[in-house]
Amino acid sequence: MGEKMKIKRLIQLFVSFLKIGMIAFGGGYAVAPLLQKEAVESREWITNEELTDIMAIAQTLPGAIFTNSATMIGYRVSGFFGALVATTSSVLPTFIITILVTVFFWDYTDNPIVKKAFAGVLVGVAALILHSITKMWKSAVTKRFDILLVALSSAGLLLFKINAVYVILGIAALGFSRNLTVYRSRREKA
């Protein structure tokens, strides 16, 4: 890849993740549809399956899911500098907005109109998360065992109030052992 092409790709990464970062209210899975539209459909940097894997890995790492995802996608597209550019551009809007809110709007947080505006934003974020779940369900949950893992993790989180870290580790261990068993079974048959 030529030097001009590398620079063009880095600029595309910067603009794409800056754009998503400016409208990514709610973070986490609320940003998944935006990532899917930009990185999978528009730019074709990754596939839907890769995005699902990236989001799963990003969730297990410390830090914001969006930033972790941006870093991994950036690395996939343009190596170290792609990761650096994508990470920087993904956090830049949040950094700037946080500074502005702290400086100019802190005195208005008890204002009833501001409270109602944020309540409306929360409803929109809930809709985005629900949309993400349905999109990711189609690519991530393909077997009966996957449904079992979803049920177990949901029960652990919602009914038994188990810490999410332990649920993730437990589900990962179950998935690993299941895949290892399937692999061994196939190897023995061959």
Q: Is 140 exposed, middle or buried (0-12, 13-18, 19+ CB in 10 A)?
A: middle
Average pLDDT for 87-114: 87
pLDDT score at 157: 95
Q: Which of 28-37, 38-47, 71-80, 173-182 has the lowest mean pLDDT?
A: 28-37
- Domain of 20 in residue numbering reads as 3-140
Collapsing DSSP states into helix, strand and coil, what is residue 63?
coil
Q: If you average pLDDT over residues 149-176, what whole number do you get? A: 94
Residues 117 and 29 in one domain: yes
pLDDT band at 128 (very low <50, low <70, confident <90, very high): confident
* 70 plus 160 within the same structural domain: no
pLDDT digits (tens, 9 = 90+) for 78-88: 999 999 999 99
**Domains: count for the chain:** 2
Provide the whole-model pTM: 0.63
Cα separation of 97 and 20, whole Å?
14
Judge if 163 and 87 occupy the same domain.
no
Give residue 1's pLDDT band: very low, low, confident or very high (50, 70, 90).
low
For residues 132 and 155, membership in a common domain is answered with no
Instruction: Give the rounded distance of the alpha carbon of 8 from its chain centre.
Output: 25
Dump pLDDT digits (tens) for 19-38: 999 887 766 777 888 999 99
Q: Are residues 116 and 80 in the same domain?
A: yes
Q: Are 16 and 39 in contact (CB under 8 A)?
A: yes
pLDDT exceeds 90 at position 107: no
